[in-house]
Chain A
């Protein structure tokens, strides 16, 4: 087995005049759980569809499971699309059997296998029910099952958590962990970053068709943490210039949290001492709160795809070095 489950090289996809994906490079290592993050319209689904050979790139190459295209290895891939549904009038069992047979699963023993899976997904007794009789959450689980029933090596889940209640989301997370434990490669796209944080070991961030960040989750955290100091105070805006002059502060941005006192984020240089900056900030401005921020994925996400301040933040990210984290942007 090759080290990379998916290799994307210089891929560009245009729809008319709009460039959905722009010169994208990405490697997804075999056996990893890779979170595919980005705001709506960033190009996540387009990239996934190209990986699945549903769209074809205008430029560049994609290889999936060592094949030139997913069309040649479709039976080894499980895919849960973002736009997903069921055949309303088909019975659940027939629907799953149909998709499994399409993916080359022999019919012998298939019924048993599907029934076992339905049990595990807490859907007992729905085999003979019509899909339209199920609740939306149940249909989601059936769709998830449809993606993995043929025991694929690579599982691609596009927004798998959308529409799931917390209990079922937890069930799904545990199943993803389980699949990961079996050595399968899993890619899932989401904009619910909390779930990505809990499940992924790698993240890949895309914005406006371009890769912004790609690396292991620990690497990313190390890079962005603790590199921000948060200061709050009623008149803090007036001290912005003096705070920016503190040694070790690279740039300052306004915090966008409503319902709280005005705040500023001090983005630090790589080699800055956070404790020193905190002390200095308290002396230079009337602050009510100073906080060394532990970056969540959401912070990184918002920072990196921030429409207004993207130049600064991406520059800041670019300055950070590290073997695991690669940040690209042509600002």
Chain B
């Protein structure tokens, strides 16, 4: 036991207390986070809202020039200001309904709203609409647009009133702000539609009110009572869990592979084996790298929990599941670690490992991908089958369990756990056999068939 612990400590130190690990696991994510923050912050100042100002000529052939009138009504300074206000309210409402708002202490922050406004908003300015006859001299007007005297020129044929599919022309200068052009087009569209509705003898407001879609408030009914569904949480929580699990397990598995290959290729293996048995070494390595995985899990999981607490969203963390998830982590880790230890012991170079690991990736990764397709339905047949398949149990079950409203029967949890534990025991046993022979084998790496022979020999 002394040797196992000493080997585990060495393994942990050699992996986790290195600059590469600190950088890869701790500093790099922090830098990425910092970069995102920086981009967002800079974005706040980067774009000043454009000011909509100037003269727009509307060549309009309708009787009473209803188009020009409608456009003026929509683009006048007061109209613009009123519209900004309305948009801001809409945005506020949209944000309040979005999952992101749940993470903002005290609802939507003004900062977020300001930012959104800067990105899509316009500042209201004085806009003059000049109504012109439909046969006005377009060439001259275009020159005025080019010289900057005129903000834009719209040529709207009267037949647009009756023929919904037809086009109109809008001439803008080469340096026209995209958002201003959008706003002008929007005003023309609305004007044309209003005019059409009016011509049909209907009330535009009434028509818009009629086509407004109803909003749903979804409530999940469960045995513990009703709760307002957070549909987004249904996806976010399992995905976060599986990502954490995969990151932790595969990071440490990969390190285990590398350190075993290093021990072999640097020929230090036999020196070490003069002091302990291969089994002690393997156990020590697996334990030590398990601690590395746990470190990764604690760093990221801890960050997640801190974030959840910060944004007052601890409710989405299924606290009652945490002990079970710890069990799945251990199982997943031992499953993967035994494979990596066996492969690491059998080869002498990293690139030789990939050919042996290929089939392993297929067995584990494909079901995980499939689970993401099945995420809406935790009890789908595929998910159930994958739960009973030991290599994928520890990856699939947490996804299923952590989805709100997933009612997985107790017996299923128990049986899959037992099956998985048996599978892990078999994997460790097999790995031990391969490890014992592999650690002192040099030369041509074995094939999968060769590994099976080693298992029989060992």
Does A26 touch B at the CB level, under 8 Å? no
Mark contacts of B258-279 with chain A using CB atoms, 8 A cut-off: 1 yes-contact digit, 0 otherwise.
Answer: 0000110011111111111100
Does A102 touch B at the CB level, under 8 Å? yes
Contact for B274 among A52, A89, A98, CB less than 8 A? A52
Chain B interface SS verdict (over half): helix
A84:B2 contact, CB within 8 angstroms? no
Contacts A98-B10, A103-B275 given; does A87 touch B270 at CB 8 Å: no
CB distance from A113 to the nearest CB of B (A): 17
B270:A83 contact, CB within 8 angstroms? yes
Contacts A54-B440, A74-B276 given; does A102 touch B3 at CB 8 Å: yes
Contacts A87-B266, A88-B262, A102-B6 given; does A74 touch B14 at CB 8 Å: no
Does A85 touch B at the CB level, under 8 Å? yes
Instruction: Tell me how many residue pairs across A and B have CB atoms closer than 8 Å.
Output: 65
Residue in chain A with minimal CB distance to B3: A102
Residues of B within 8 A of A78 (CB): 274
Does A137 touch B at the CB level, under 8 Å? no
Contact for B275 among A87, A89, A102, CB less than 8 A? A102
B440:A74 contact, CB within 8 angstroms? no
Q: Report, as a range, how many residues of chain B touch the other chain.
A: 20 to 34
Residues of B within 8 A of A52 (CB): 273-274
A104 to B276, CA, bound (A): 11
Interface residues of A in 81-96 (CB under 8 A from B): 81-90
Residues of B within 8 A of A102 (CB): 3, 6-7, 272, 275-276
A74:B275 contact, CB within 8 angstroms? yes
Interface residues of A in 77-130 (CB under 8 A from B): 77-90, 98-99, 101-104
Q: Report the count of interface residues on A (CB-CB < 8 A).
A: 29
CB distance from B326 to the nearest CB of A (A): 30
Contacts A86-B266, A98-B6 given; does A81 touch B271 at CB 8 Å: yes
A54:B267 contact, CB within 8 angstroms? no
Residues of A within 8 A of B442 (CB): 83
A116 to B269, CA, bound (A): 26
Mark contacts of A140-157 with chain B using CB atoms, 8 A cut-off: 1 yes-contact digit, 0 otherwise.
Answer: 000100110000000000
A85 to B2, CA, bound (A): 23
Contact for B2 among A54, A98, A104, CB less than 8 A? A104
Contact for B266 among A54, A77, A88, CB less than 8 A? A88
A86 to B6, CA, bound (A): 17
7 A-B pairs with the lowest CB-CB distances in the bound complex, closest first? A85-B267, A79-B274, A102-B275, A81-B270, A85-B266, A85-B268, A83-B267
B interface, CB within 8 angstroms of A: 2-3, 6-7, 10, 14, 18, 262-263, 266-277, 440, 442
16 other A-B residue contacts (CB within 8 Å) besides A87-B262, A102-B6, A102-B272? A52-B274, A74-B274, A80-B271, A81-B270, A82-B270, A83-B269, A83-B270, A84-B268, A85-B267, A85-B268, A86-B268, A87-B268, A89-B18, A102-B7, A102-B275, A147-B274
